[in-house]
Structure 1
Amino acid sequence: MSVRPAWEVRESGAAATSWFNVRLAFTDGARVDLLAVLSQAALSIEDVRAEPPLSLDDLAVVAEWIEEPLFEACGSHLGGGREQDRDGQARRARPAWPRGAEGLLLVAEAYRAAQEDGADPVLAVMGATGHSRRESLRLIAGARDAGFLTPRHARR
């Protein structure tokens, strides 16, 4: 795997947005090329190309594989978004989130607040919990099952 800076846009001498090329090469000849974008201390994937094509499940696994090398390459740009675990390994900090009914109630509150503001409620839950889209959708479904959110579809 390789991570290389691609280019950077500066505002008033400080880096505002940076792009990174990421390549995963496998021994069987398969490869995945990504373009990661770092803007305002947020890291996102802008483009993914794979040969052979990836399924959605494979794409989720690729995100886990590239997370650490990307944060290592971008760490100087990210500032305080990382911390050390017990073994001294760097890891991404995730906000503490309560488990059980209390956590589901907080998920429901974040979801409803985003709806009222006209924002994407799933992204609001992702931002509040620090979890992936898949995990956030699971939490939202749990909040619905617990009765904190209205059912997604009217039952007949």
Structure 2
Amino acid sequence: MSVRHTWAVREGRTTTTWFDVRWTFADGARVDALAALSGDGVRVEDVHAEPGLSLDDLSVLAEWLESPLFEVCAPARGDHPGGAPRRARPAWPRGREGRRLVAEEYRAAREEGGDPVLAVMRATGHSRRRSLRLIGQARDDGFLTPRRARR
């Protein structure tokens, strides 16, 4: 299962966050869903499945999504000034090992049809600019193919 953050809307103290969720099964079946997480609940807003889901499966889809979504986006708990919870940046190795892991995240996102830069941003906790720099360093180290021919 892959879960990708798509957008968030904040209204007052409430934030609603949307996610693209994709399940790919060994037998070739696939479920794509657009889910919204708000407060303590999950809403399924759009579903595409190959082959189609039964009504029973469709009725429990939100329950299936709830745990993976909360794992992906549950902020670190605690009271912070302004009421905004802070997230700690994930531990990420430095140097060659970190660049190898960046290349793995990049390739995995490309294979799944996702945004590879966004995948690296999520994995490392860095900004887009810093993630692009890490991707470039991974290319320079030979972990990724060159972006364009050098002259």
TM-score bucket (shorter structure): 0.3 to 0.5
TM-score (norm 1): 0.46
